[in-house]
Structure formats: C-alpha cells, structure tokens
Structure 1
C-alpha cells in the first residue's frame, strides 16, 4: 500500500433494515454505542446515526483516522466487548449491511461560511 493511501481516513457504514416500531429504540441504542466509541477508541473522528423517513432503515456512519483504527474497533465489537450482535437481535434487524470506504475527497463549510474541499 502506498504511503498516501495509509494516511486516508476510513469510513464504515452499517445499515439496518427493521420494522418501523423498532426504529426509535435502535436509534437510541446506536447513539449510546456511538458515544462510547467516541470516548473509548483511538482514531475515532466522527459518527452519525440516521433514520429513514419510512421508519424501516437506520444508518450508522463511523469515520476513523485510518482503516486500522476502524477495523480494530469493529474487531472488539465482534468479540463481544460492546455486544454489537445482541443489539442486532434485540431490535430484530431483518438485514444488516456493512460497508467500508476510504475517503478520497471531502467538502465542508467552515465557520466563516467558506467551502473547503480536500482531495487526497
């Protein structure tokens, strides 16, 4: 792997398909879990929990400083440290889709209202 590739941030997307009556509880559980991630895992950058308007999907977006940081955190989840699989069972997820991505470009608005684009 090239040096510049190792320095790119890394994003994990986890999409849950659920029954609408489970959405609020799953959002709450993922929000609490995400707060624990922010406090306890090296390399954590940002996260969000998003809910679809139809109530049938929840998206958990996690961004890390590196692929290694994100994969290390997920390995701890799989080993039961944060009981991720129990969360899936408790909220009766029909499907769970995992995606991993390297960030190649990003755009953000600064406090002075300017747009900043980072191409890596």
Structure 2
C-alpha cells in the first residue's frame, strides 16, 4: 500500500558513545525523557532505547506520526532539565539523525507480515 508523501512518519535516532559506568544512568534518563515526550506531545508512534553489550553505546529511537510532531518534541527537550543534559554531556560522542520512513515491515497479531511502502 502506497502512502502519500505528506503522510510519511518521521524517525529520530540518537547514538551515544559513553563510558560503561554511565550507561545505565543514561538509559534511565532517556527512559524518563521518552515517557515525558509520550505524555506531553501528540504523535509519538513508538520508541526504543537500546544498550550495547559492551556498555559503551546507547541508541535512542523515536518514531513520530509527522516531522512536525518530532521537531516540536525535540525543541522541548532542548530546553529541558539540567540533570538530563549533564548526563548527556558525559558522552564521548553523540550522533543525531532524522529520517523519513519509506517502508515499514510489521508482524500482526495473527503472525502475518505486512509491508507498507511509502512513495
């Protein structure tokens, strides 16, 4: 099924390189921040926070209904709490990326795979 270009969802990816002793604190802070975003902003479709097994990286994935919803939420985070930003500044490197979703493959409750292409 093709979706019109203006209906494409929007994904934000943030990868943090951090010392292993700070990984769990960053995961906790990102979890709290993501819960606030879901509660305070319309349009969050899904989110995921992933930690590398070596303790040195954390990946934060946020998918929004629209680019506008994601950007509005990001602006609120930029003006966010000092404790959160102090922890983020412990990262050796942070990579931010924004992506337009072109294809989703999902498994339904009946175990069927569905592929949704966006033109």
1:81 alignment partner in structure 2:
80
State the aligned residue count.
115
- Looking at structure 2, the residues matched to 106 and 64 of structure 1 have their Cα atoms a distance apart, in angstroms, of 13
For 1:12-31, list aligned pairs within 5 A: 12-31=12-31
1:94 aligns with 2:87: no
Counterpart check, 1:41 vs 2:68: no
Q: Identify the residue that residue 115 of structure 2 maps to in structure 1.
A: 117
Shift of 1:82: 4.6
Gaps of 5+ in 2: none
1:61, distance to aligned residue in structure 2 (A): 0.2
Distance 1:59 1:107 in 2: 20
TM-score (norm 1): 0.89
Deviations 1:26-62 (A, max 9, x none): 1111111111111111111110100011110000000
C-alpha displacement at 1:6, in angstroms? 1.9
- CA drift at 1:81: 3.3
Unaligned 5+ segments in structure 1 are none
1:76/1:82 contact within 8 Å kept:
no
Measured on the aligned residues, the alpha-carbon RMSD in Å equals 1.5
Q: Which residue of 1 aligns with 2:11?
A: 11
CA distance in structure 1 between the partners assigned to 2:43 and 2:102 by the alignment: 18
CA distance in 2, matches of 1:106, 1:11: 12
